[in-house]
Copies of this chain bind each other. A is one copy, B any other.
Amino acid sequence: MAGRVPDEKVFDAVLAVIAQQGYERATTRAIADAAGINEATLFRRFTSKENLLRQAVRGNFKGFALDLGSPGDDVEADLVTIVSYYARLYETRGGVVLTLMREAKFSPEVAAVLAEPEKLLERVDEVILHHQRRGALVVEPPRHTFFALVGPLMMRSLARRVDRRATQAPADPVAVVRRFLDGHRPVGA
Whether the pair B101, A158 counts as a contact (CB closer than 8 A) is yes
Is A98 engaged at the interface, CB distance under 8 Å to the other chain? yes
Residue of B nearest to A144 (CB): B167
Interface residues of A, CB < 8 Å — how many? 44
Measured CB to CB, the closest approach of chain B to A115, in angstroms, equals 11
Which of B106, B111, B148, B167 sits near A143, CB closer than 8 Å? B167
Residue of B nearest to A118 (CB): B163
Interface stretch of the complex, out of A6-14, A32-40, A41-49, A177-185: A177-185
Is A4 engaged at the interface, CB distance under 8 Å to the other chain? no
Whether the pair A155, B163 counts as a contact (CB closer than 8 A) is no
A24 to B107 Cα, complex, angstroms:
12
Q: Which A residues between 76 and 111 are near B, CB-CB below 8 angstroms? A: 95, 98-99, 101-106, 111
A95 to B103 Cα, complex, angstroms:
11
Is A141 engaged at the interface, CB distance under 8 Å to the other chain? yes
List residues of chain B with CB within 8 A of the CB of A133: none
List residues of chain B with CB within 8 A of the CB of A158: 101-102, 154
Which of B99, B111, B152 sits near A148, CB closer than 8 Å? B152
Is A151 engaged at the interface, CB distance under 8 Å to the other chain? yes
The 7 A-B pairs of least Cβ separation, nearest first, read A151-B155, A179-B183, A151-B152, A151-B151, A182-B183, A147-B155, A183-B183
Listed in ascending order, the chain A residues whose CB lies under 8 Å from chain B are 21-22, 24-25, 95, 98-99, 101-106, 111, 114, 118, 121, 141, 143-144, 147-148, 150-156, 158-159, 161-163, 165-167, 178-184
